[in-house]
Amino acid sequence: MAQSAPLILRLLASSVTAATRAGKIIKDVMTKGELGIVEKGLEKNDVQTEADRSAQRCIVASLSKQFPDVTIIGEEGQLSESDVPSDWIVTESDQSVLSANCPPSFVNTVPEDIVVWVDPLDGTSEYTEGLLDHVTVLIGVAVSGRAVGGVIHQPYYNYKTVPDTPGRTLWGLVGAGVGGFNPIDPPQDKFIITTSRSHRDGMVSNALKSLNPDDVISVGGAGHKVLVVLEGRAHAYVYASRGCKKWDTCAPEAILEASGGRLTDIHGKHYSYDKNVSFPDNQGIFATARTVDHDALVSKLPQEIKDAFPY
Ligand code: AMP
Ligand code: MG
Ligand code: MG
């Protein structure tokens, strides 16, 4: 039965299992306490830990074993695929994804149409600072350049009240809907925006001010901020900055859009997730819940802010 499901469902079903296994690795590294932090670039708050590296090796080894012809791009680049511990390689499929109704447009999708974007640990700064519920594992599935399928695993979901939390794993496929959670609409009597906690500059703040929110929720992680929108705690996620990359937005965009919301750049255009695109999301992020008029909100951003992020 499983083998007869369309490729996109089998890939997403395996991604749910791989993301969940990666989350366990992230928790094990934290429990052990040897984070192995290295600075990645010149930018502030751009670090990598043993958890980022190990989680990516788990996901890439698990998916490439089952889908050898699919292109997989991971944030941490090419890591050794040899000596991956055998219990990190998981090939089980999530049954709820396998039994979803595949949208007709994806029934005949072939491996060559697909790029998988992996952020093995989104919110690394927050992970190292102990803000553990900001951490997510992101696996995004792009078909013909569009972000259409996604998995967000939150290993520390509810960890403050549930000490041994298994976390939670959300998935979405545009045209099929979402699973693993129930989206909630944001309140109608207030307007709340979520944005970055650790990567802020004048432009990020000016963009927020121009939209005149009642409240701003500053939290870590692109995956986590989209969760804040999906949970109805914010109406929009706005980030007028170049710092996010395709692996940060592919899975969140797919899940948000599968729920009826939108995730675009600050001009209101979707990013391409083809294998040849440059990694940075150079035109920022503008995401909205399904009850928000996305284009109307985009049009409220001042032209001088938009002009600072040309194509
Ligand atoms: P944040 O919203 O700041 O938590 O960022 C979401 C994702 O984008 C994380 O993976 C960050 O590492 C990445 N990111 C955003 N802005 C920057 C930046 N200025 N430099 C490096 N990474 C960034
Ligand atoms: Mg990230
Ligand atoms: Mg990361």
Domains annotated for the chain, with CATH where assigned, are 7-179 (3.30.540.10), 192-307 (3.40.190.80)
| Angle subtended by helix axes 7-32 and 50-66, to nearest 10 | 150
* Per-residue confidence band for 1, with pLDDT thresholds at 50, 70 and 90: very low
Q: Is the CB of 240 under 6 A from ligand 1?
A: no
Phi, psi of 280 (to 5 degrees): -65, 140
Residues with CB under 5 A from ligand 2 (ion): 119, 122, 248
The pLDDT of residue 84: 95
**Catalytic residues, which ones?**
52, 124
Q: Say what the pLDDT of residue 2 is.
A: 46
**In the chain, pLDDT over 90 holds for what percent of residues?**
94
Mean pLDDT of the region 189-212: 97
Q: Is 167 left (phi over 0), alpha (psi -120 to 50) or beta?
A: left
The string of DSSP codes covering 114-143 is EEEEEEEEE-HHHHHHT-GGG-EEEEEEEE
Single-letter amino acid code for the residue at 121: L
Write down the pLDDT at residue 45. 77
Q: What's the order of all strands across the beta sheet hosting 177-179? A: 71-74, 114-122, 136-143, 146-154, 168-173, 177-179
Q: Mean pLDDT over residues 17-27, rounded?
A: 98
Name the amino acid, one letter, at 262: R
Backbone angles phi, psi at 239, to 5 degrees: -145, 95
**Residue pLDDT, tens place only, 96-130:** 999 999 999 999 999 999 999 999 999 999 999 99
Instruction: Establish whether residue 129 lines the binding site of ligand 1, counting it when its CB lies within 6 angstroms of any ligand atom.
Output: no
Ligand 1 atom 23: residue of nearest CA: 243
Q: Which two tokens stand for residue 66?
A: 């089952």
Q: How far is the CA of 73 from the centre of ligand 3 (A)?
A: 12
Task: Pick the residue whose CA is nearest to atom 19 on ligand 1.
Answer: 243
| Alpha-carbon gap, residue 150 to 250, rounded angstroms | 7
Per-residue model confidence (pLDDT) at position 3: 56
Residue 201 CA to residue 205 CA, distance in Å, equals: 7
Whole-number Å distance, alpha carbon 175 to ligand 2 midpoint, is 26
Give the number of other CB atoms < 10 A from CB of residue 35: 17
Predicted confidence (pLDDT) per residue in 149-188, tens digit? 999 999 999 999 998 999 999 999 999 999 999 999 999 9
Q: How many C-beta atoms surround the C-beta of residue 47 within 10 A? A: 17
- Best residue among 118, 132, 244 to mutate for probing ligand 1's pocket (most ligand atoms within 8 Å of CB) is 244
* pTM of the predicted model as reported, rounded to 2 decimal places: 0.98
